[in-house]
Amino acid sequence: MKTANKTVSAERLVKDALEKAKFFADYHIFTYLNEEGALKKAREIDAKIKKGEKVGRLAGVPYVLKDNFLSPEGETTASAHILQGFNSPVTATAVKKLEDEGAIMIGRTNMDAFAHGSSTENSYFGPTSNACDKERVAGGSSGGSAVAVALDIVEFATGTDTGGSIRQPASFNGVYGFKPTFGTISRYGVVAMASSTDCIGFFTKTPEDMDLLMSIASGQDPKDLTTLPDYYNNAGEPAQVPLGHAVAPARRHGGRAASTSVVTCGDPQVNLRSARIGIIKDFDNESVDPEIRQALKKKCDELKKNGHEIVELSMPNLKYALAAYYIIVPAEIASNLSRYDGVRYGFRSENSKDLEALYANTRDEGFMPENKRRIMIGNFVLSSGFYDAYFLKAAKARTLIIEEYKKAFSKCDFILTPVSPNLAFKLGEKVNDPVSMYLEDVMSVPLNLAGIPGLTIPVGKSKEGLAIGLQLIGPRRSDKSLIEFAKELA
Amino acid sequence: MDIKCEDVNHLADLSDFSLSKKQADALKDDLQSIIKYISQLDEMDTKNVEPTYQVFEMENVWRDDEILPQQADREDLLALAKKTENHQIKVPKVL
């Protein structure tokens, strides 16, 4: 990461990034450019450097923020109409940690509204173009962030991943994209989509930068009680758990838990020079683009040549993960998005004769069609008469998927798969067919259901010049070794 | 199962949407195809399987019952609402 110092000023770094952002304006990457705010911060950092004061590990590094991270700079809209005009008085914990290290936000990036989508076409602001081909989608939902890094506007971007929203756009644009273990980075101040799968992560050009960002952003946050103790910076060591206690089935009871409970911080030691890499044979079929299959095969040959072992895995339950995901996640969406009613913040529909009409009109005008589909499906699977057949069934399927991963990781250290079945598709190709858009996520959602980490690694270009990425998957809390292994592969 | 117009209207009601006839018709087809897709879970044998609702490794995470310093105060929050009067949020008539 290129940080500011005595010879290269933060102001120079920020000005360069802003210039590039404007040069690529026709890709529609940004929902907001933070020119004044960014330059002001840059000058403050330069003044510190000049005085010889201590600056952070990201001093003067420009970055971009997915539009669902709350900060007072620019409106936080999650690229949705219903949040237009929302100037957050609150800063997300993840943003605060980055800025405490001196990083400077130069803009907010476009996304599918509320992160509902896999192409960034469901944005109120219109679609973002792919970095390799303007006629194609950026992927999504964190499309703007991925393209900003791919086009070298900034060295890193934030993203959120509920079912592939970091890994798939990273793959479509040829950059690294990481979805950590569930609970690694605080979600305080990030617009909620599905609380049991939402994760914060990053886009970078190198695994080294990813490692640095993870070491800054990881850790427990008193404002988000679903954060794990900082295992990332303490790999291999047991951690004292100051908040809560590890789930122990024999001891499920209420009341305050002893503060000395222990969660093992790191994962089992992996020999990164000779690792066992699992390949899921259930994913190797005609539904996957031949160039992606070719890239996977080539990577496996390379791994074997470098002393790693390839282990073939059969994971037949994974094919049900997408159906389970599109039950569980809409259910959580219906619940989380019930808060948007036009009363306290954001857009409000005018001319409603009474309060009930104000809610209904605001939600009707404020949500995108895909938001409505998901909310309605969520209310369907949760409604009496259908709960057992859909929601409960999906929750049981989730257990089987988790068990399947556990079994797989008893035979291998990491798993390598495609990120999605196809390369970046044409703008408009899938946007009117929700199920074909959902199928984009078939290889990314199982990780979110299991809460395990996945890293997209760029592996080259197709004949047409489109980016190809592969997904490196590890067991829970193996994040550090996963990124270390990616360094070996780079 | 078959999704009928009444089902769409019922779900719109549960979701607090005021849908036009055109929107409701389009959603009927979309919901039908999504429900058809997710119904493939029927094939899965989940007998004697416990459901999973969360994948966080801890439970009963407590904090002290005290007010922590907040980034926003009452006036900051009221400023976000479209209409206010006498330090309160104003909405159309309730009844």
User: Residue A258 pLDDT > 70, yes or no?
Assistant: no
CB contact under 8 A, B15 and A345: no
**B46 in A contact zone (CB under 8 Å):** yes
Residue A115 zone, left/alpha/beta (φ > 0; ψ -120 to 50; rest) = left
Q: Which of B4, B9, B17 to mutate to test the interface with A (most CBs of A within 10 A)?
A: B17
pLDDT value for A351: 85
Question: Which of these ranges, A168-182, A315-329, B55-69, has the smallest mean pLDDT?
Answer: B55-69
Over residues A24-34, the pLDDT tens digits come to 999 999 999 99
Give A205-234 pLDDT, tens digit per residue.
999 999 999 999 999 998 999 999 899 998
| pLDDT at residue A242 tops 90 | no
Each domain of chain A, given as residue ranges in start order, spans 10-237
Length of chain A: 490
Contact A455, A176 (CB under 8 A): yes
Domains contained in chain B, CATH given:
5-43 (1.10.20)
Q: Residue A280: what are its φ and ψ, rounded to 5°?
A: -90, 110
CB A326 within 8 A of CB A377: yes
On chain B, the residues whose CB falls within 8 A of the CB of A322 are: 37
Assign B66 to helix, strand or coil.
coil
Question: Which residues 15-34 of B have a C-beta within 8 angstroms of A?
Answer: 15-19, 23, 26-27, 30-31, 33-34
Contact A144, A29 (CB under 8 A): yes
- Which amino acid belongs to residue A465? G
Contact B34 A361 (CB under 8 A): no
Q: For residue A248, is pLDDT > 90?
A: no
Nearest CA to CA, how far is A191 from chain B (Å)? 16
Residue A244 has pLDDT above 80, yes or no: no
DSSP, collapsed to helix, strand or coil, labels residue B85 as strand
User: How far is A178 from A214, CA to CA, in rounded Å?
Assistant: 9
Enumerate the residues of chain B whose CB falls inside 8 A of the CB of residue A354: 92-95
Confidence (pTM): 0.95
Mean pLDDT, rounded, for B53-76:
87
Report the CATH fold assignment for A10-237. Amidase signature (AS) enzymes (3.90.1300)
Percentage with pLDDT > 90 across chain A:
89
Q: Do B41 and A320 touch (CB under 8 A)?
A: yes
Candidates A183, A383, A396; nearest CB to B51: A396
Average pLDDT of every residue of chain B: 93
Query: Would you call B14 helix, strand, or coil by DSSP?
Result: helix
Q: For the segment A391-404, what is each residue's pLDDT rounded down to a tens digit?
A: 999 999 999 999 99
Over 50: is that where the pLDDT of A255 sits? Answer: no
Q: Are A140 and A420 in contact (CB under 8 A)?
A: no
The nearest CA of chain A is from the CA of B10 a distance in Å of 9
A263-309 pLDDT tens trace: 555 555 788 889 999 999 998 889 999 999 999 999 999 999 999 99
Residue B23: pLDDT over 70: yes
Partner-chain contact B38 A390, CB within 8 Å: yes
Cross-chain residue pair A399–B58, CB shorter than 8 Å: no
- Contact state of A183 with B56 under an 8 Å Cβ cutoff: yes
